[in-house]
């Protein structure tokens, strides 16, 4: 958000962090595009000497009235014509021919959009690096912290919290990699009225490369006025970041439930997580606001995908439909990334509660392991059915799975035939003995993260 949008009732929630895409930022990005164009024209010999510097000096957002430009935009469908008039009137007479020469309104707005995206992505990438470091720290520190795995929201076989954090980490790394590729593809737009640069004559083809160099953006092969794949790819990369961050936040909200209590968010302010009605509440505010941001990403992505089909050389309406959704998506992704930094770096992990929740299940999460031990003697299906019946009795009688197995004559006989005694049964329901490839997977995730960090 810009300075005027950063406050207000919701600005601190959904505009947290350094991503700035408010009206002033848009205005400055358009002015930056106009100033860079003047410099490029001068370098190409299509504008008078000194024109680039003169336009650049004036092209500062504080010199223009964004509200008035917005009012005049209702006459032309976008604010660029009014901006060009105001900018032309503010520069010396000798530099006026360098203002907006060869350009059309879409060139300026699309290039400004790419500048805003570049600046926002740089901030988001910095926050994501801190989030990934937090996830890596949790993965390493809790590689052996055993807890219940949960499928369909029910306890399943055991996992470690380190494996969960490693899963967060790998998703973050994929999202960061795609975001980096997207940043490298952000390109200027400069094609004139219908993508031919005809108004600049024979020397016009040199200007796009010079403009791209001035702005630190890529030079496209040709103007992309109605080829909106860049916008869609940018939106998809941002939505991927939101998906990775939303997954973390959702896991934290579930694990922080009162009845589970396996993690809690950090925070120094005693008011954090408070409720207006219930004094005892300590809500996972960081995760909740991350989800409040990321849940909006799919809808914004869908709008931008729908706007991708644009007709002929310039679109009627679909181009206009992109501006606000992409602005919102940049802002919300930035906010989610900013909130996620303290969420991951300050997360409290309660290993004792994780162990207690597992033990309270009476060995049920290890039913698969018990069935596997019985399978050589009984066959896989018979072993599965036997253990399933014992699990049902254990649940109804409030006893452990080993106790239910031993108390049933048929099951006890099967255990004897398989050579499995009570000590073997107790070992089979020990969560630490049934973690499979978890250590290997965690090591792989940390190795991939370290490799990526070394080359970043």
**Closest alpha carbon to 174 in 184, 186, 185, 182:** 182
Residue with tokens 């024109």: 51
Distance CA 64, CA 24 (A): 10
- Asked if 314 is an active-site residue, the reply is yes
- Nearest to 330, CA basis, from 158, 119, 189: 119
Instruction: Give CA–CA dist 176/265, Å, rounded.
Output: 24
Tell the burial category of 339 from Cβ atoms under 10 Å away from its Cβ (0-12, 13-18, 19+): buried
Round to whole Å and give the CA distance between 192 and 398.
76
Instruction: State the Cα–Cα distance between residues 430 and 341, nearest whole angstrom.
Output: 35
Q: Which residue in 185, 314, 355, 393 is the catalytic one?
A: 314
DSSP string for residues in 122-171: HHHHHHHHHHHHHHHHHHHHTTT-EEEEEETTEEEEEEEHHHHHHHHHHH
134 contacts 341 by C-beta, under 8 angstroms: yes
**Catalytic entry in 4, 199, 205, 275:** 275
CA distances to 358, 382, 404, 454 from 390, in Å: 18, 12, 6, 52
Is residue 96 part of the annotated active site? The answer reads no
Alpha helix segments (H runs only) across 44-104: 51-58, 66-76, 80-90
Q: What is the rounded distance in angstroms from the CA atom of residue 406 to the CA atom of residue 408?
A: 6
Angle between helices 207-215 and 105-141 (to 10 degrees): 40
- Cβ 168 vs Cβ 449: under 8 Å: no
Rounded Cα gap, residues 22 and 297, in angstroms: 18
Which one-letter DSSP state was computed for residue 349? E
Q: How far is CA 165 from CA 135, 145, 259, 266, 276, in A?
A: 5, 11, 21, 17, 32
- The encoded tokens of residue 13 equal 């929630």
* Residue of 397, 40, 396, 373 lying closest to 387 (CA atoms): 373
Residues marked as catalytic: 275, 314
């Amino acid at each position: 958000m810009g300075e005027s949008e950063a406050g207000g009732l919701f600005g601190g929630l959904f505009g947290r962090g350094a991503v700035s895409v408010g009206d002033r930022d848009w205005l400055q990005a358009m002015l930056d595009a106009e100033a860079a164009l003047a410099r490029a024209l001068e370098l190409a010999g299509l504008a008078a000497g000194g024109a680039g510097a003169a336009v650049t000096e004036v092209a500062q957002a504080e010199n223009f009235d964004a509200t008035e430009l917005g009012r005049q935009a209702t006459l032309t469908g976008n604010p660029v014509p009014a901006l060009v008039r105001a900018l032309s009137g503010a520069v010396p007479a000798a530099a006026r021919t360098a203002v907006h020469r060869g350009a059309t309104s879409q060139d300026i707005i699309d290039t400004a959009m790419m500048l805003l995206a570049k600046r926002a992505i740089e901030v988001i990438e910095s926050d994501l690096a801190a989030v990934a470091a937090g996830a890596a720290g949790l993965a390493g520190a809790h590689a052996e912290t055993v807890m219940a795995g949960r499928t369909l929201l029910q306890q399943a076989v055991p996992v470690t919290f380190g494996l969960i954090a490693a899963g967060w980490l790998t998703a973050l790394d994929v999202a960061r990699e795609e975001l980096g590729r997207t940043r490298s593809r952000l390109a200027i737009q400069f094609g004139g009225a219908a993508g031919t640069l005809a108004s600049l004559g024979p020397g016009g083809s040199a200007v796009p490369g010079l403009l791209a160099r001035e702005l630190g953006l890529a030079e496209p092969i040709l103007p992309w006025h109605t080829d909106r794949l860049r916008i869609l790819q940018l939106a998809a990369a941002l939505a991927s970041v939101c998906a990775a961050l939303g997954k973390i936040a959702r896991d934290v909200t579930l694990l922080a439930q009162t009845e589970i209590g396996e993690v809690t968010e950090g925070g120094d302010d005693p008011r954090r997580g408070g409720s207006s009605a219930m004094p005892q509440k300590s809500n996972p505010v960081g995760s909740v606001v991350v989800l409040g941001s990321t849940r909006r990403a799919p809808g914004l992505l869908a709008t931008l995908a729908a706007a991708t089909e644009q007709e002929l050389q310039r679109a009627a309406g679909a181009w206009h439909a992109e501006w606000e959704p992409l602005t919102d998506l940049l802002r919300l992704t930035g906010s989610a990334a900013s909130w996620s930094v303290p969420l991951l770096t300050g997360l409290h992990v309660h290993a004792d509660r994780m162990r207690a929740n597992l033990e309270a299940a009476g060995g049920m999460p290890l039913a698969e392991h018990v069935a596997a031990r019985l399978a050589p003697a009984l066959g896989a299906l018979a072993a599965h059915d036997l253990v399933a019946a014992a699990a049902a009795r254990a649940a109804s009688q409030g006893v452990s799975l080993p106790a239910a197995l031993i108390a049933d004559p048929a099951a006890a006989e099967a255990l004897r035939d398989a050579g499995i005694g009570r000590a073997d049964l107790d070992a089979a329901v020990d969560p630490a003995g049934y973690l499979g490839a978890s250590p290997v997977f965690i090591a792989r995730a940390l190795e991939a993260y370290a490799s990526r960090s070394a080359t970043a």
